[in-house]
Amino acid sequence: MSIKSLESLVKSEKTAYRHLKKLCRKYGHKFCPRCRHKYTYILSNGKYRCKRCKYDFSEFAGRWLSLVRLSAKQWMWLIKLFSLEISTRKIAKELEISYATALKAVDVVRKSIITHGTDDLLKGKIGMDEAYFGGKRKGNRGRGAGGKVPVFGIMERNGQVSVNIVPDASAETLLSLTVKKVKRGSIVYTDKWKSYDTLMFCGYKHLRIDHSKRFSMGKVHINGMWQSLRL
């Protein structure tokens, strides 16, 4: 999602809340977080009540979003800044929240990505990217950043996402995971990192974009990798 698109979604707390609500209901009905019953009704105070166990709960109860007290706008900006590999300290400053709160929220996003990764074989149009997360000290961003954990994401266009913590971003590591996760014959989109050079020799159609010049070129892009979360 581009900054311009995000700005239109967070122009008010109401629009941001509505967008997150839509994402959370994308995969089915609202369930009671206590007994998992799907029949609920809304109360005058905006909360929901389960028809079976009579438990009252809020919109995002039982979701990752409920683990940190942030507004819908703050959550959406935090996810975007996280996807851009902005440091936790700078995220806290930009959102005007404490460092402890930002650190907890970023940790929630990481756990959500890893928990909801998929083991199914992905196919079709595939975007791949590595990112570096963690580290409490200021320092380099991206490849070569000290004290940060490399994470490799594989995203099926308009589909599922597979995310794995990796020891490094070498060709051997990334290719090994690609072969395990992506069906041969798929179209793979990446940036120009040299570790992706061998993809074309392994049965994939490989298209690349030079991020030093632009972030997309027609259908060739890896945008949205780190926003594809089920929160």
Q: Over range 79-101, report the average pLDDT.
A: 90
Between 227 and 40, the higher pLDDT residue: 40
Which segment of 62-66, 85-89, 110-114, 141-145 scores lowest on mean pLDDT? Answer: 141-145
> Do residues 221 and 214 touch, judged by C-beta distance below 8 A?
no
pLDDT tens digits, 140-175: 555 555 567 888 888 887 777 788 888 888 888 888
**CA–CA dist 206, 121 (Å, integer):** 18
- Give the start-to-end residue ranges of the domains of the chain: 36-63, 68-115, 125-227
Report whether pLDDT(35) > 60. Answer: yes
The sign of the torsion formed by the CA atoms of 205, 211, 212, 217 equals positive
Between 164 and 133, the higher pLDDT residue: 164
- Residue 74 has what pLDDT? 93
Work out the pLDDT band at 220, boundaries 50, 70, 90. Answer: very low
pLDDT tens digits, 95-105: 999 999 999 99
- Residue 218 has what pLDDT? 46
Give the percent of the chain with pLDDT over 70. Answer: 77
Decide yes or no: CATH 3.40.50.410 for domain 125-227.
no
- Residue 145 has what pLDDT? 54
- Residue 212 has what pLDDT? 53
Per residue, what are the HEC states of the chain? CCHHHHHHHCCCHHHHHHHHHHHHCCCCCCCCCCCCCCCEEECCCCCEEECCCCCEECCCCCCHHHHCCCCHHHHHHHHHHHHCCCCHHHHHHHHCCCHHHHHHHHHHHHHHHHHCCCCCCECCEEEEEEEEECCCCCCCCCCCCCCCEEEEEEEECCCCEEEEECCCCCHHHHHHHHHHHECCCCEEEECCCHHHHHHHHCCCEEEECCCCCCCEECCEECCCHHHCCCC
